């Protein structure tokens, strides 16, 4: 990527974050982002295509460190760690990510409402959680539907729900609640 393209991308993503923090998702237009980033609207459209594309890209960037940790041996999130422990660590990290990016989570959910289960970041998270649940969950006749359970756990990070839960107990309560749900599902 050319240096001006890289600079424009970073300016657009930073402007989007600042606007989300200041005004919330419902007051963000591509015109407003382009003006705040100091780029033309065409630049924004060519790079991201739409508000949805912009929010998807910003979430993917925020989740990049988590994705790397999932694939890194030696990390509590990575290969070699027992699946139950990996799952709990992943859920804790997702709670931290939600806390730091609650406005982005809300904007992303609204922008992707029609196809949120097809969002690339969600698909990666769902596949990861599904695999860990399948590996750590109960076997036999009462076998847990790992795909559904993964959706249920990831649904705990709905922005409105996370905001509500964290309003009384902060991120510690969100972590504890999601861990409790995961333990109950795996029991």
Angle at 146 between CA 145 and CA 148, to 5 degrees: 70
* Tens of pLDDT, residues 73-109: 989 999 999 999 999 999 999 999 999 888 888 888 8
Residue 25 CA neighbour count, 13 Å, CB half = 19
Q: Is the pLDDT of residue 151 over 70?
A: yes
Question: Model-level pTM?
Answer: 0.84
* Tens of pLDDT, residues 176-187: 999 999 999 998
Question: Residue 65: its pLDDT value, please?
Answer: 87
181: Cβ–Cβ under 8 A, 6 or more apart, which residues? 152, 153, 156
pLDDT class of 140 with cuts at 50, 70, 90: low
pLDDT class of 3 with cuts at 50, 70, 90: confident
| Average pLDDT across the chain, whole number | 90
Residue 31 CA neighbour count, 13 Å, CB half = 1
- Euclidean distance between CA atoms 83 and 44, whole angstroms: 41
DSSP notation for the chain: --HHHHHHHHHHHHHHHHHHHHH-GGG--HHHHHHHHTS-HHHHHHHH-SHHHHHHHHHHHHTHHHHHHHH-TTSTTSTTS-HHHHHHHHHHHHHHHHHHTHHHHHHHHHHTGGGGGG-HHHHHHHHHHHHHHHHHS--STT---HHHHHHHHHHTT-HHHHHHHHTTTHHHHHHHHHHHHHHHHH-
pLDDT class of 24 with cuts at 50, 70, 90: confident
pLDDT class of 142 with cuts at 50, 70, 90: low
In order of 12, 81, 162, the CA distances from 33 in angstroms are 7, 42, 26
pLDDT class of 61 with cuts at 50, 70, 90: confident
Nearest partner of 20 among 112, 95, 107, 94, judged by Cα: 107
Q: Is the pLDDT of residue 133 over 80?
A: yes
């Amino acid at each position: 990527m050319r240096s001006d393209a890289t600079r424009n991308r970073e300016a657009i993503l930073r402007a989007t974050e600042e606007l989300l923090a200041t005004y919330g998702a419902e007051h963000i237009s591509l015109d407003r982002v382009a003006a705040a980033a100091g780029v033309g609207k065409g630049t924004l459209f060519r790079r991201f295509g739409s508000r949805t594309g912009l929010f998807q890209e910003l979430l993917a960037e925020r989740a990049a460190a988590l994705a790397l940790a999932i694939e890194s041996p030696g990390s509590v999130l990575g290969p070699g760690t027992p699946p139950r422990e990996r799952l709990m660590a992943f859920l804790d990290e997702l709670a931290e990510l939600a806390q730091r990016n609650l406005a982005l989570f809300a904007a992303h959910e609204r922008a992707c409402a029609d196809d949120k289960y097809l969002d690339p970041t969600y698909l990666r998270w769902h596949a990861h959680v599904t695999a860990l649940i399948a590996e750590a969950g109960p076997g036999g006749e009462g076998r847990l539907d790992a795909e559904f359970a993964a959706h249920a756990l990831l649904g705990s990070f709905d922005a409105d729900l996370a905001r509500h839960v964290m309003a009384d107990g902060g991120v510690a309560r969100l972590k504890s609640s999601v861990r409790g749900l995961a333990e109950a599902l795996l029991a």
